[in-house]
């Protein structure tokens, strides 16, 4: 393990006041693509997710349902994990902030910051949004309303403990300058730099008084830790901060925090400052992705347009879901879901393009040659896409994956690789050649099956089940668990007995993506 490069990534810690919807799941799928890719490339990956449970909203919701807050949180965690498992999200740990381990480690952290002189007691009066569980400035409001929740804020006054965020403005600006890739995409960075330069940073109220639900402050137990200060700590308590220094040192600092663009400020200003105040390093990158709309409208319970991912999966499968949202919703910016468009993309690119190529290769080879690509022993396949430099193509795809430009990855694979491969089959028509020139037909099928091999490797992080089904339907020499992107970059000689290994029913494979609609 020690000789492997390590990769630690997290997603936002979600409020469990309702089940996850397609907007929440968008982030998780995008993060999972990166985790799967890094594992393929030989990284020791740790992928952390969790729920943000020490909130007033949670205790209120539990009370409405007549439940103990802990029982409510545990049941919602179960529901969240059911959705993530249905989407094949390959997380390594799922942290509940109501758990005892997190609570104790969070108390250790805040005590450290206090001991280092960055917390002081005072009183605070300001405009507060219950939905955000955060104070707002006049400048942030839209006609007196919270810009996120679209409802009035309330004036709130209370004794509290402040975190000296104002002490870190110059250090943050210098850090952004020295680490230009820290905030991604670039537009998010410009927002944060402008905020600090133009408005400055104010000290932050980080405790609440008189709340039974939450984490008591160790140096002043009548207060609990403010939910944002507490939730951000999940990223380090989940890898051992406070009780397992060896594991913490192994994985920290985080390589990427995947978050929604609306919480960039907390992650790019407050979070690094908190870590510095405790004597720890900041994360290496914060990636603020866009939102998913439903037929052009923002998703929300009040809009009545929340869509449960499980409903969509039931119409197709988890890979189709993953493919659509990574293909149609550019991860760095906003995207849109519509049932009609989902059907169009599924049938066009998955059923007709990838699925049909797979089915043709299997069926024709099985029917005419007993499933064996005989006569090709030791031969290197011929390229089937005119003018394509395969190595350069794979490097382009790799660059897009590492930059989280997932829609461009899938466009490249479909438009510049799979579609030309299908055109190659159409123009050479092996289903006709078998009658006039069987050896020529066999060569065409042998060449085209390499496109399936290449595509399955490149698509492994995106549609893991289908990619594995494609690759393991043939006896390609390298085990599926060991393939890397580099294996897709060359057309190497194939085994003497390259063959179809999947079981066919009545000479036909089980469809990867049966048409829908």
Q: Each residue of 42-57: pLDDT tens digit? A: 999 999 999 999 998 8
User: Residue 85, CB half-sphere, CA atoms under 13 Å: how many?
Assistant: 8
Domain positions in the chain are 351-489
Q: Which of 9, 5, 19, 31 is nearest to 401 (CA)?
A: 31
Mean pLDDT of 352-363: 96
Written as six digits, the tokens of 385 are 């896409």
Greater confidence (134 vs 227) lies with 227
What was the pLDDT predicted at 134?
78
Mean pLDDT of 320-347: 96
Q: Each residue of 21-36: pLDDT tens digit? A: 999 999 999 999 999 9
Rounded Cα gap, residues 295 and 14, in angstroms:
24
For the cut 80, the answer to whether the pLDDT of residue 300 exceeds it is: no
Alpha-helical (H) ranges within 139-270 are 169-178, 186-194, 227-232, 234-237, 245-251, 264-265
CATH number of 351-489: 1.10.730.10
What was the pLDDT predicted at 210?
86
Greater confidence (133 vs 450) lies with 450
Q: Are 114 and 219 in contact (CB under 8 A)?
A: yes
> In the predicted model, what is the mean pLDDT of the chain?
94
- At 126, the pLDDT band (50, 70, 90 cuts) reads confident
What was the pLDDT predicted at 124?
81
Q: Are 10 and 46 in contact (CB under 8 A)?
A: no
93-97, 209-213, 424-428: segment of lowest average pLDDT: 209-213
Omega cis (within 30) before 143: no
Q: Residues of the chain with pLDDT > 90: what percent?
A: 81
């Amino acid at each position: 393990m020690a000789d492997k490069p390590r990769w630690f990534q997290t997603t936002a810690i979600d409020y469990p006041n309702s089940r996850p919807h397609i907007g929440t799941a968008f982030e998780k799928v995008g993060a999972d693509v990166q985790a799967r890719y890094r594992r393929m490339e030989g990284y020791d990956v740790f992928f952390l997710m969790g729920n943000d449970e020490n909130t007033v909203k949670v205790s209120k919701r539990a009370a409405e349902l007549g439940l103990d807050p802990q029982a409510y949180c545990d049941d919602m965690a179960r529901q969240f994990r059911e959705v993530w498992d249905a989407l094949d999200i390959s997380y390594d740990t799922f942290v509940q902030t109501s758990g005892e381990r997190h609570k104790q480690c969070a108390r250790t952290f805040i005590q450290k910051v206090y001991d280092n002189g960055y917390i002081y007691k005072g009183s605070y009066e300001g405009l507060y949004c219950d939905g955000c569980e955060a104070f707002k400035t006049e400048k942030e409001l839209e006609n007196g309303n919270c810009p996120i929740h679209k409802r009035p804020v309330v004036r709130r006054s209370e004794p509290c403990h402040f975190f000296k965020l104002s002490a870190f403005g110059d250090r943050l600006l210098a850090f952004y300058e020295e680490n230009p890739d820290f905030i991604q995409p670039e537009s998010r960075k410009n927002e944060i730099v402008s905020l600090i330069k133009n408005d400055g940073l104010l000290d932050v109220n980080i405790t609440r008084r008189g709340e039974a639900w939450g984490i008591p402050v160790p140096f002043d137990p009548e207060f609990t830790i403010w939910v944002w200060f507490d939730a951000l700590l999940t990223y380090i308590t989940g890898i051992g901060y406070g009780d397992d220094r060896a594991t913490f040192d192994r994985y920290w600092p985080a390589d990427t925090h995947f978050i929604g663009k609306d919480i960039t400020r907390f992650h790019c200003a407050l979070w690094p400052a908190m870590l510095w105040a405790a004597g720890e390093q900041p994360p290496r990158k914060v990636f603020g992705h866009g939102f998913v709309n439903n037929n052009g409208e923002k998703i929300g319970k009040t809009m009545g347009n929340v869509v449960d991912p499980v409903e969509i999966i039931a119409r197709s499968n988890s890979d189709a879901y993953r493919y659509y949202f990574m293909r149609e919703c550019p991860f760095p910016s906003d995207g849109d879901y519509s049932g009609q468009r989902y059907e169009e993309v599924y049938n066009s690119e998955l059923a007709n393009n990838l699925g049909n190529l797979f089915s043709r290769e299997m069926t024709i080879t099985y029917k005419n040659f007993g499933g064996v690509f005989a006569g090709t022993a030791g031969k290197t396949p011929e390229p089937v896409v005119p003018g394509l430099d395969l190595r350069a193509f794979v490097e382009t795809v790799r660059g897009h994956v590492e930059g989280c430009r997932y829609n461009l990855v899938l466009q490249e694979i479909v438009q510049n690789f799979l579609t030309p491969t299908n055109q190659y089959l159409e123009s050479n028509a092996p289903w006709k050649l078998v009658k006039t020139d069987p050896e020529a037909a066999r060569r065409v099928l042998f060449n085209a099956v390499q496109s399936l091999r290449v595509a399955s490797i490149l698509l492994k992080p995106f549609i893991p089940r289908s990619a594995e089904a494609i690759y393991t339907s043939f006896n390609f020499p390298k085990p599926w668990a060991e393939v890397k992107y580099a294996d897709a970059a060359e057309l190497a000689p194939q085994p003497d007995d390259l063959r179809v290994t999947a079981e066919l029913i009545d000479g036909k494979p089980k469809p990867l993506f049966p048409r829908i609609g």
